């Protein structure tokens, strides 16, 4: 999540502390799978796949070890949910101090979770994976973050301004020459008037400067505020800990 304001430009990983519990969850699920296979060898084919049930109902045996692992998995889910909510609440508290008007892209998170229906090939002629962002969205819960932000703003007597993603097209716009250009998801840097600018931070800056109808970008606002954004942008991308895992390192 990228944030842009007159006082601060930052990029954050949502609920980053949930990764530890996510690793534990995967290990427990693997143990549960091994336990289930050991207790039910007749329910699997030779290649390791589950036999089709057909008309006869397949009986599954649950061992005591499997039951213990199930309880452990429930506890991991509980801890993960608590950590995620706590981090979301803390980040929202930070964001609402940055200004009295908060703007956000109106994104369809459920759409991002669904597998792609198209079969596409990459530059090497290999088929692309159809998986999208289902696991990470489930783990990070961005929709919960938005709902918490809306609740906090409502308690302050204001509302969250949701920008029309399709008409604004922040990831494609260049305010310097007032043009739109599509980019690959892997392209993490923009060239804005001869300057390299991190793509997500620049998109946040553009969303900060939308017009009154929330359906377009106000170029005049961008021109007036761009120098201050660049100064804060450079401070952000040089801060310790902002590593290459998300493509944010200067090259």
- DSSP letter at 98 equals S
Q: Is 198 helix (H, G, I), strand (E, B) or coil?
A: strand
| CA dist., res. 86 & res. 198, Å (int) | 28
Percentage of the chain beyond pLDDT 70 is: 86
Please tell me the predicted confidence (pLDDT) of residue 115. 65
The domain segmentation of the chain, as residue ranges, is 165-251
| CA dist., res. 112 & res. 117, Å (int) | 12
Q: What is the pLDDT of residues 189-246, one digit of tens each?
A: 999 999 999 999 999 999 999 999 999 999 999 999 999 999 999 999 887 655 443 4
Q: What is the pLDDT of residues 112-162, one digit of tens each?
A: 656 666 766 667 777 666 556 667 777 889 899 999 999 999 999 999 999
pLDDT at 94 over 90: yes
- Closest-CA residue to 83 (of 26, 154, 140): 140
Reading the block at residue 145, the tokens are 């973050």
Q: Which phi and psi angles does 100 have, rounded to 5°? A: -95, -5
Burial 194-212 (b: 16+ CB within 10 A, else e): eeebbbbbbbbbbbbbbee
Contact assessment for residue 139 and residue 22, using Cβ atoms and an 8 Å cutoff: yes
Please tell me the predicted confidence (pLDDT) of residue 137. 78
Q: Are strands 2-4 and 9-11 parallel, antiparallel or unpaired?
A: antiparallel
10 Å Cβ neighbour count for 231?
11
Burial of 228 (0-12, 13-18, 19+ CB in 10 A): middle
Please tell me the predicted confidence (pLDDT) of residue 24. 92
Please tell me the predicted confidence (pLDDT) of residue 174. 95
Residue predicted with more confidence, 20 or 92: 92
Burial of 128 (0-12, 13-18, 19+ CB in 10 A): exposed
pLDDT at 251 over 50: no
Helices (H), the chain: 18-39, 64-95, 109-113, 134-140, 142-155, 165-168, 199-208, 219-237
**Mean pLDDT for all residues in the chain:** 87
Going from the C-alpha of 177 to that of each of 191, 192, 200, 231, 245, the distances in angstroms are 11, 9, 19, 20, 31
Percentage of the chain beyond pLDDT 90 is: 63
91: confidence class by pLDDT, cuts 50, 70, 90: very high
- Quote the pTM value: 0.79
Please tell me the predicted confidence (pLDDT) of residue 53. 74
| CA dist., res. 54 & res. 15, Å (int) | 43
Q: Is 3 helix (H, G, I), strand (E, B) or coil?
A: strand
10 Å Cβ neighbour count for 192?
17
| CA dist., res. 157 & res. 79, Å (int) | 32
Mean of the pLDDT values across residues 78-98? 94
Please tell me the predicted confidence (pLDDT) of residue 132. 61
Least confident range of 32-36, 79-83, 238-242:
238-242
């Amino acid at each position: 999540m990228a944030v842009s304001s007159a006082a601060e430009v930052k990029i954050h990983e949502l609920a980053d502390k949930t990764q530890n519990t996510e690793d534990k969850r995967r290990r427990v699920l693997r143990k549960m799978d091994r336990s289930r296979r050991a207790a039910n060898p007749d329910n699997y084919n030779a290649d390791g796949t589950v036999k089709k049930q057909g008309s006869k109902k397949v009986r599954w045996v649950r061992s005591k070890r499997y039951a213990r692992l199930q309880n452990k998995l429930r506890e991991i889910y509980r801890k993960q949910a608590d950590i995620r909510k706590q981090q979301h609440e803390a980040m929202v508290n930070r964001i609402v101090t940055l200004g009295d008007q908060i703007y956000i892209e109106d994104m369809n998170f459920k759409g991002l979770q669904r597998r792609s229906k198209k079969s596409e090939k990459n530059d090497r002629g290999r088929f692309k994976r159809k998986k999208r962002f289902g696991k990470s969205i489930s783990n990070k819960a961005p929709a919960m973050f938005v709902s918490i932000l809306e609740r906090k703003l409502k308690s302050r007597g204001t509302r969250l301004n949701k920008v029309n993603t399709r008409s604004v097209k922040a990831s494609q716009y260049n305010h310097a020459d007032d043009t739109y250009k599509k980019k690959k998801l892997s392209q993490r840097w923009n060239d804005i008037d001869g300057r390299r600018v991190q793509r997500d931070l620049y998109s946040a800056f553009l969303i900060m400067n939308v017009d009154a109808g929330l359906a377009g970008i106000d170029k005049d606002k961008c021109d007036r505020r761009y120098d201050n954004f660049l100064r804060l942008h450079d401070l952000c991308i040089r801060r310790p800990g902002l590593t290459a895992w998300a493509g944010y390192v200067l090259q």
